[in-house]
Structure 1
Amino acid sequence: MSSETPCIAVCMMDPKTKLCFGCGRTLPEIAHWHKMDRTERLTVMANLPARMADAGLERMEPHPKRA
């Protein structure tokens, strides 16, 4: 799987918008991420900030890595 991912390990879905609070992707996008080609992933990632803003969601901070 590509390292090109918006995932920040805050995996919680907003019940109203159906978007992940951490990255802004939908469940189908998350499920098919590994099957998308690089162009598809970059297109989705480019749209995430506007998608989150349009939904009125603020991106959450990533969870700190555990030692």
Structure 2
Amino acid sequence: MDEPVASPCRNICRLSTEGTLCEGCGRTLDEIGRWQAAEEAERREIARAAAARLASFRPGR
């Protein structure tokens, strides 16, 4: 059995200039809102997508 997916939250809760992305974890507001109720498969996908976004995120763009 797979390990539970840990929240990508880094306690740096700051929205991007556009107000659509958390600069701390890379999740969208929708993903943050869905996290608690999400199944593990969805959490894995959210965490993967958030990490990819965060890796390419440049503040102020």
Does the TM-score normalized on the shorter chain lie above 0.5? yes
Match of 1:29 among 13, 31, 35: 31
Match of 2:22 in 1: 20
The one-letter amino acid of 2:11's match is A
Q: What are the residue-to-residue correspondences of 1:1-67 with 2, within 5 Å? A: 4-16=6-18, 18-52=20-54, 53=56, 55-57=57-59
Question: Per the alignment, in what secondary structure is the counterpart of residue 9 of structure 2?
Answer: coil
The one-letter amino acid of 1:36's match is A
Please report the RMSD computed on the Cα atoms of aligned residues, expressed in angstroms.
1.9
Unaligned runs of 5+ in 1: 58-67
Q: Distance in 1 between matches of 2:38 and 2:22?
A: 18
Q: Distance in 1 between matches of 2:18 and 2:48?
A: 22
TM-score by length of 2: 0.73
Q: Please give the per-residue CA displacement for 1:22-60, whole angstroms capped at 9, x wherever unaligned.
A: 10011111111101100101111112222120x435xxx
Runs of 4+ in 1 over 6 A off after TM superposition: none
TM-score by length of 1: 0.68
